[in-house]
Structure 1
């Protein structure tokens, strides 16, 4: 059994990183960083960003160094040791079989006639992640059905993840191996570290976090999430019988608005009240 008691998994953009429209609580990120210094806490970043963009965010926003990083919407897992990023090769071996030996360039060729898809920059692609921009006025439900049919015709087992980049006002569609997702990557890491569900907490804000937010894992939806995602999270968690595993952060005081890092810390206190004293002791200083 691992020697820490909390595997704290968090999305970055608009979850820990305050790059949404809503205000950040004063000192919330600093309190979060101090909390993560506790030896009983192991920090995991779970993000759509690739390695270089995660490292850039850590420096730009003065984020604590993680112990593990799940990047590219769950397609890569790294252990971070003294700032060295060590990829876990067993994860890529596990997800590779879903695409039947095909690469993302071949998948892209299968989808070339779908006009609404605009391929994202090369830096946002990897071996098992094919990402597109989609206009917000497009019928993304019908589009995803069309993409699914094209890939199924080629015997490709894929997972389609829809989300919205609110600042850029554009839809995002990630095509991944079916077994590659934030949820499956977190579960792989959980088993790799021999941890129970009670030792794990996830924090997120957007559509590509919904699979985790509505799962059996303890999760917190930060208060700055959109009304649509908030509604979807409640409906999905209820339909799957996981209402007790989802905490919706909210404004508690002028110094704790539930947005970003303050929402993550609210989730920690909700599910693991024994850690609250560590958070509050830092707040009082």
Structure 2
């Protein structure tokens, strides 16, 4: 696998890092190098005053647990629930950005996720995830690992057939044997949430560097941000992302790290001149 596309970055250095958590920023089990590189990354982000955004499928309580459990750096912004909720840090803790919720609600034409849940009840292959993994704009299921992507295609066709304002996102659960299927507003993804946040900050999209490893990172990895694919990324995802960049004519926006997870994020940040 090539380490990088053939030209060094010609765009200005990114000014903020956005990263997935599981399989990306969070150290992999029993990997001391990742722990050391996480500390280095924390120190370098702080030293260079680089804003940090978490963009993850986790819900807020799970993110806070992960910050404590893995000694993660405290982010400036949290994009949770696969891009359907954005939290800002306040004196009283993390608070959802209400204007973003209004932005998503306006795109749904009154069609609720309850209607979609009822539509999908006929699929025995789908199992609803626990209550804490559901949210106002996200309906989450588990399914067998082998059927994940084929089932996701079928579900998307069903949504399209009724012109539902929702889209399917599929990925494989890290360190597990099942697949994850999320139903999100068509206007929602990690990519669209990052674009919305950057616009609120008065930044152009070239200001952001995104790191990811799995299917629910695809939109962000192919939206024009500078991107890092860590070495443990799904090989099919790697090929999809490379093809998308090549079609778009981007030869300076993708770095495929030699190292996995945390160490790959640090490696990519150095490549793009963020730290």
TM-score range, shorter chain: 0.7 to 0.9
Coordinate RMSD, CA, aligned? 2.0
Q: How many angstroms does 1:67 deviate by?
A: 0.6
The alignment status of 1:107 with 2:96, answered yes or no, reads no
Q: Distance in 1 between matches of 2:205 and 2:146?
A: 39
1:110-153 deviation per Cα after TM superposition (whole angstroms, max 9, x unaligned): 11112221111111100110011111232633x23432243334
Contact 2:145 / 2:178 at 8 angstroms: preserved in 1?
Answer: yes
Q: Using CA pairs under 8 Å that are at least 6 residues apart, name the structure with larger relative contact order, 1 or 2.
A: 2
Pairs within 5 Å for 1:1-285: 6-19=15-28, 24-25=33-34, 27-38=36-47, 40-82=49-91, 84-138=93-147, 140-141=149-150, 143-250=151-258, 258-272=259-273, 275-276=274-275
- Name structure 1 gaps, 5 residues minimum: 251-257, 277-285
Q: Distance in 1 between matches of 2:174 and 2:51?
A: 30
Q: Distance in 2 between matches of 1:230 and 1:56?
A: 29
Contact 2:148 / 2:180 at 8 angstroms: preserved in 1?
Answer: no
- Choose 233-242 or 85-94, whichever is displaced more: 233-242
Q: TM-score, normalised by structure 1?
A: 0.85
Relative to structure 1, is the Cα distance of residues 32 and 99 closer, same or farther in structure 2, using a 3 angstrom cutoff?
A: same
Q: Distance in 1 between matches of 2:30 and 2:164?
A: 38
Q: Distance in 1 between matches of 2:154 and 2:107?
A: 19
Q: How many angstroms does 1:20 deviate by?
A: 6.0
Q: How many angstroms does 1:100 deviate by?
A: 2.2
Q: How many angstroms does 1:219 deviate by?
A: 0.7
Q: TM-score, normalised by structure 2?
A: 0.88
3-state SS in 1 of match to 2:47:
coil
Contact 1:95 / 1:178 at 8 angstroms: preserved in 2?
Answer: no
3-state SS in 2 of match to 1:215:
coil
Q: How many angstroms does 1:180 deviate by?
A: 0.5
Q: Which residue of 2 aligns with 1:254?
A: none
Number of aligned residue pairs: give it: 262
